[in-house]
Structure 1
Amino acid sequence: MTFWALIILTALLITLFLGYSMLRGQKTREPAAAYDLRVYREQLASVDRDLARGVIAQADAERVRTEISRRILAADAQMQKQTTQSGAPRWATGVAIVVVAAVLVGGGAWMYRQTGAAGLPDQPLAQRIERAEVLRAERPSQSEFEADLPSAPRPQLDESYATLLQQLRDTVAERPDDLQGHVLLAQHESNAGNFSAAYKAQERVIELSGSTASADAYSHLAEMMILAANGYVSPEAEEALRQALSRDPRHGPAQYYLGQMMAQLGRPDIAYRIWVDTLRDSPAGAPWADAIRAQLDDLAFRAGVFNPPDIPSASTPSGPSQDDIDAAAELSVEERQEMIRGMIDQLSDRLATEGGAPEEWARLINALGVVGDRDRAVAIYEESLSVFADNEGALQALSAAAQRAGILQ
């Protein structure tokens, strides 16, 4: 109600200001004859002054007075004939003011009902954060959410594949401790669209793997749970994502789904930060990066971000990685040097024109050290120190790269 009162009051104040301007302009408007009268009176006074100074003769003064007096009488007669002021009549001005008020107040209310959220109560930031925490704590479990989902038709499988899948199920049932069998079962159940069966098999994979279970294993478990729940990130899926990120803090798929969960819980601000960091760490062509880019603009709008930071696009080359440099060892010396220098120049040009993450600067320094270009590595290192002067973590990563490149002892 407070919002509506403020909007209506603002519209009325604007209407009053415009109406006052129109009425004031009408009051100050005068006919042309009134201006002529002032000029003629000034001319009469000027004739008297000229006669007193002896500039003109008495006869000439009388003749000029007679002519000016005639003009004064004509102008006065013209004013007497004008019964209304020039311009729009008062009733037209009043109608215009009413129309302006109707457009501002009524039109504004109509537009808000069409594009706004009429009837929605005020939502202070602290209240929204508190509601998001309650929603996170009270959201349904994986089994509860799946139980409420409408039954969906199973995909039709090729008869031979369906037979092989059933044989795999029977074999795994007979060998409950067969790790490889459960890995295959989880994979093929997922391929067949049986995501509930797939994540149950994946849970057994993690159980059998024990402490050696990888970040990928937990990420696959979370993904199968999310697919089984039609995109909903349950508390169990969240726990799997946390386990994956505890093993690999930069695991792309786990970060993607964690951001998706935050968006579902009403925290698009956190989701946006997670996805932006994920994009910066993602290799070129990563499928989760493409999924993030497709949704990032909408998420930025929901998060209230109107000046998004620079984010590498899908076509942005990532520059030479350590794997690229290692693979070059199989080439001849000339071919290896040419390949590495081409990638180095490509990355160097992009960092000089567009900037980049600290990891990319560190990669460039390391690559220059590999090819023996110490002077250029030193120059890039010194430049990076000025770029990331206020980022302690980035400075540590750059110093480590400089040590690997042999330019910092």
Structure 2
Amino acid sequence: MGFWITVAGLAIGVSAVLGLVLLRGRVGEAPPAAYDLQVYRDQLKEIERDTARGVIAAEDAERLRAEISRKVLAADAQLRQGGESGGQPRGAGVIMAGVIVAVIAGGGVLIYDRIGAPGYQDLPMAARIAASDAARAARLDQAAAEERFGPGETGVPEGTNEDYIRLIEQLRKTVAERPEDQQGLRFLVRSEAALGNLVAARQAQAQLIAVKGEAASAADYAMLADLMINASGGYVSSEAETALRAALERDGREPSSRFYLGLYMMQVDRPDAAFRLWETLLNESTPEAPWVPTIRAQIEELAGRAGVRYTLPPEQDAPNAPGPSAADIAAAQDMDPEAQQEMIRGMVAGLAQRLSTEGGTEQDWARLINAYGVLGEQDKAQEVWTEAQAVFADAPERLAVVRAAAASAGVAE
């Protein structure tokens, strides 16, 4: 209410001043013609002084006197005819005064209705931070978030190989019998996630972190947070926030944790903190990073909410990534599982050969490690990870991309 009273008072005051000027036909104590007359008289005096000093010739002075004298006569006539109103038509002044009031007051209300937030109370910074803190305190835990926002029971994806399902069931039994088997837990996390059982996957990942104890890495906690957030449909629960902060305590530059922490800040109404996280992450990320499209789609609006002037940088083209073509994918759909596996191994072998002879980007190395992890060839994934550490020894930021893939494949401790 205080805002509206202030705005209304300003609009009425400005409109009244402008309207009064139009109605009076003058802005000071004398009509406009009186000011003109005084100026012309001063000019005549200036001509006399310049003539006496020899600045202007006598014939030029005479011509200037005649011209200014005509202006004096015209201003004097206007002053006599207009009187105190300056000769301005009163009806036109009333109309213009009404137009000004309508434009200033009505236009201001219309603009605020379009781009403002009518009906909202004043929210000073202290009140906003307090509201954000209250939202954090009321954050749902993971189980409640999964129940409310999660996809629920997804079942086995259609077309899943029966042998693969039996293998997963056996893996579950093995892990249940040997709950401290880290290798089995890593396989179980990836397998459950591949089947869409995100709740089971995040439970297995939490168990793996508990088994590792103090040895758990930033990548381990980042994986846990990722599974939690996806299991709850994008909602960042209080436990997911804890996992994110645990990851960043171990590696302050862990990219997925910074992305999700920015998402969390948006959800608790702290666009300022979210913008700082996402702007830095976007500037440091390569174009093909999975979080880049999401950030680019939302960061300008986020900057506006944070009160920051921000211009989205031009989008860079991602380098062509090696992989199967559309024709390869179409052909693979008609293959039996053994042929599909053979085709995948062939493409992986081609990527490995290219990296060994020509080299590649950190994304290529991460892709190869992930591929070996999916194929269950941990020894080869370990060899690639060891080689990548030597290749990117002088580029820690690029090595971090490969390390995340190695941690996911279970070969980076």
TM-score (norm 1): 0.58
Select between 10-19 and 101-110 the one with higher mean Cα deviation: 101-110
- Asked whether the 8 Å contact 1:250–1:281 carries over to 2, the reply is no
Which deviations, in whole Å up to 9, do the C-alpha atoms of 1:311-345 show, x marking residues without a partner? 7964599xxxxxxxxxxxx88xxx99xxxxxxxxx
Partner of 2:291: 288
Larger Rg: 1
Distance (Å, rounded) in 2 between the aligned partners of 1:247 and 1:101:
62
Describe the SS at the equivalent of 1:183: helix
Which deviations, in whole Å up to 9, do the C-alpha atoms of 1:110-154 show, x marking residues without a partner? 332233211111111111112211211221111122223376684
| RMSD after superposition | 4.1
Distance (Å, rounded) in 2 between the aligned partners of 1:164 and 1:222:
27
Distance (Å, rounded) in 2 between the aligned partners of 1:256 and 1:273:
11
Partner of 1:355: none
Question: Alignment length, in residue pairs?
Answer: 283
Seen in structure 2, the aligned counterparts of structure 1 residues 221 and 23 have a Cα distance that, compared at 3 Å, is same
Which deviations, in whole Å up to 9, do the C-alpha atoms of 1:278-316 show, x marking residues without a partner? 2344355322344333322222111111157x9796459
Tell whether 2:261 aligns with 1:258. Answer: yes
Tell whether 2:121 aligns with 1:125. Answer: no
Partner of 1:141: 141
Distance (Å, rounded) in 2 between the aligned partners of 1:104 and 1:122:
23
Distance (Å, rounded) in 1 between the aligned partners of 2:134 and 2:304:
23
Tell whether 2:282 aligns with 1:279. Answer: yes
Seen in structure 2, the aligned counterparts of structure 1 residues 207 and 152 have a Cα distance that, compared at 3 Å, is closer
Partner of 1:187: 190
Seen in structure 2, the aligned counterparts of structure 1 residues 150 and 229 have a Cα distance that, compared at 3 Å, is closer
Partner of 1:111: 111
State the 1:166 CA deviation.
Answer: 5.7
TM-score (norm 2): 0.58
Structure 1: state its 5+ residue gaps.
Answer: 40-71, 318-329, 337-365, 368-409
Distance (Å, rounded) in 1 between the aligned partners of 2:173 and 2:210:
16
The one-letter amino acid paired with 1:9 is G
State the 1:102 CA deviation.
Answer: 2.4
- Asked whether the 8 Å contact 2:175–2:185 carries over to 1, the reply is no
Equivalences for 1:47-58 in 2 at 5 Å? none
Seen in structure 2, the aligned counterparts of structure 1 residues 268 and 238 have a Cα distance that, compared at 3 Å, is same
Equivalences for 1:129-278 in 2 at 5 Å? 129-149=129-149, 154=154, 157-161=157-161, 164-165=164-165, 167-176=167-176, 177=178, 178-278=181-281
Percent identity over the alignment? 36
Seen in structure 2, the aligned counterparts of structure 1 residues 162 and 209 have a Cα distance that, compared at 3 Å, is farther
Distance (Å, rounded) in 2 between the aligned partners of 1:136 and 1:253:
21
Which deviations, in whole Å up to 9, do the C-alpha atoms of 1:229-278 show, x marking residues without a partner? 22111111011112211221111111111111112112111122222332
- Asked whether the 8 Å contact 1:280–1:312 carries over to 2, the reply is no
The one-letter amino acid paired with 2:100 is V
